[in-house]
Chains A and B, each alone.
Chain A
Amino acid sequence: METGGTATLETEETDAGYLVRAGGVWTVRFVRGLDAPLRDLMPKRTRGRDAVIDLTGLSRLDTAGAWMLHRTAEQLRVAGLRVSYLGETAEFRTLLNVVATQRSGFNLRLPPAPFFQQLAERIGGLIVTAGHEVRGLVGFFGLLLQALWRTVKHPSRLRLVPFVHHMERTGFDALPIVCLITFLIGGVLAQQGAVQLQRFGAEIFTVNLVAITFLREIGILLTAIIVAGRSGSAFTAEIGSMKMREEVDAMRTLGLDPMDMLVVPRVLALIVMLPLLTFIADMMGLLGGAMVVWQMQGTSPGIFIVRLKEAADFWTFGVGMIKAPFMALVIAMIGCYSGLKVTGSAESVGQETTRSVVKSIFMVIVLDALFAIFFTTMGI
């Protein structure tokens, strides 16, 4: 087989006519250099004269080479020459026939739209999508409340096995990562706070700083974000792949309501587990803070607890905990909703999963801000 080879091209204009001599290996790998010369190729005298394309020196030809020969022949024909081939084998003839009978020269590129049109299109598209999204979510929230109410009226409708399974998956299995992250953040918060407060001689308030920020805000926020990334995405991916394989449709035709089967157990499991996780996250954060304070300032754990009692009352802790079930509802709802929105393809599962995580983290932070305004107004 050829690994090296060249394609050659010679032209000769005599009184008898115009001669184009092709030689060597005219395959897609070697014809690159001939593209421009062939396009420029044109005899000085054209109209009514003969042109001969000589293929005798040609050892190999493929569709790319045949296309370029055919293109050249057409180019000469348009200029008014009579074109014929010389020395073509049966094999070359077949290839030349193949390329000659194809429709060619049609447009393969769409012209890009002007910049401002693209800008307007994308902004408009985003707004419309966001509108649909909000409508869809509100509608889904209604369906979910309906399903939850049915479950409350007839508790036997609750699928116990999936409920417990999802409690384990979203709660118990998330413990290591939640504990580790909150412990470390608690420590960092205490360390950074201590350094800054020292400048005012107020390092004694480090405990207050850690206790209040962690119990009110950081504990629940961190936990919710971890859970959104871990379980919200899992909900979307699980339900999404079931939707993709038409399992959800199969469920409907068998008289099972996907809301009862898939959504309610997940939502309830997360509503139960997120507060528990938040409680553990709070404890781990305080533990991290206590360790750092003990190391840096020599405040023993006993004294830490006494200071903690002075700094934080029940409502400092309560404010954080109250948010947990609401955030759980938002995360689980967005996760399940995105999963059910998946359409046929595997790409759509990936896209929806990414969107679900982004949306639920965004909503968690919005919700947290709303709660902050509410509690401040209420003076808690």
Chain B
Amino acid sequence: MDSEEPIIKVRGLKNQFGSQVVHDNLNLDVYRGEVLGIVGGSGTGKSVLLRSIVGLQRPTSGSISVLGQTISQMDEDKRRLLEQKWGILFQDGALFSALTVAENIQVPYREHLQLSETLMDELAALKISMTGLPLEAGTKYPSELSGGMRKRAGLARALALDPDILFLDEPTSGLDPIGAAAFDTLIRDLQSTLGLTVFLVTHDLDTLHATCDRIAVLADKHVTVQGTMSDMLKCDHPWVKEYFTGPRARAAQMSASG
């Protein structure tokens, strides 16, 4: 497989809601095995971009291809196959409230594969353990879990089918700093052991420092700059400057280097 061929390719993306244009001529590449962080101010359409890539939001125009297949020109069967190759963690986990954590993880197994009950239980236990949840979490319902545990359970479900790509929507929002740092480490560890490509939407500077290989900044309706953290620090776009060299950024930098 050519490592230089992007795994996600977005070209000329335009998203418009009524008269409000969110994205205009947006281009973005994500390469295999990297962690790409998407940042941008509130309302710059970070989540809309994620939703467009996974096909939850139909773009006004432009093309998106994932793993070499164009999203908009796909029939149902191909789509279903492709959807098994990515996992998505929504902001609050988006666990099914009527199912226990273990049953949530087993949903994709039941829907797409015919595995024996014992094997499904073993695999669910494996994912629960891999995402660092306590053992007894498996039999609990989402409403009985804390926010951090719900995110871990959501991550376990996203990883159920061993996807190639993992989409994370604000994985650390609403977590305390200790929980957030632990989650960053978890993402990094899983990424390196499972060889995942991670598409990460975040506001959290610490997460950017701790996990991302590359960062793409959304501003002025498109990707203004993309590159490594040091590229960001050199950039002189006013928003980027403010974001990466503001008072909070310096604190995050210090904690990352120290």
Contacts and interface: CB of A to CB of B under 8 A. Distances in A.
Interface size class of A (residues with CB under 8 A): 20 to 34
Interface string B123-154: 11111111000010011000100000000000
Nearest to A94: B193
B135 A67 contact: no
A347 B123 contact: no
Interface in A62-113: 62-64, 67-68, 71, 91, 94-95, 98-99, 102-110
A103 B116 contact: no
A63 B156 CA distance: 12
B194 interface: yes
A110 B162 CA distance: 26
A91 B194 CA distance: 9
B113 A104 contact: no
A359 B138 CA distance: 36
A29 B84 contact: yes
Contacts of B68: 1
Contacts, number: 81
Interface string A21-44: 000000111001001100000000
A92 to B, nearest CB: 11
A32 B116 CA distance: 8
B162 A63 contact: yes
B14 to A, nearest CB: 28
Contacts of B102: 108-109
Contacts of A62: 162, 194
Contacts of B230: none
Contacts of B118: 35
A300 interface: no
Sorted nearest first, the 5 A-B pairs with minimum C-beta distance are A62-B162, A102-B129, A108-B102, A108-B138, A106-B135
Interface of A: 1, 3, 27-29, 32, 35-36, 62-64, 67-68, 71, 91, 94-95, 98-99, 102-110, 345, 347
Given A28-B113, A63-B126, A98-B194, 20 more contacts: A1-B67, A1-B85, A28-B160, A28-B161, A29-B84, A29-B112, A35-B116, A35-B119, A67-B126, A68-B119, A71-B122, A98-B130, A102-B125, A102-B129, A102-B130, A103-B125, A104-B125, A108-B138, A109-B102, A345-B143
12 contacts: A27-B162, A28-B109, A29-B112, A32-B114, A35-B116, A63-B130, A67-B126, A68-B119, A71-B122, A91-B195, A98-B194, A105-B125
Interface of B: 67-68, 81, 84-85, 97, 100, 102, 109, 112-116, 118-119, 121-130, 135, 138-139, 143, 159-162, 164, 193-195
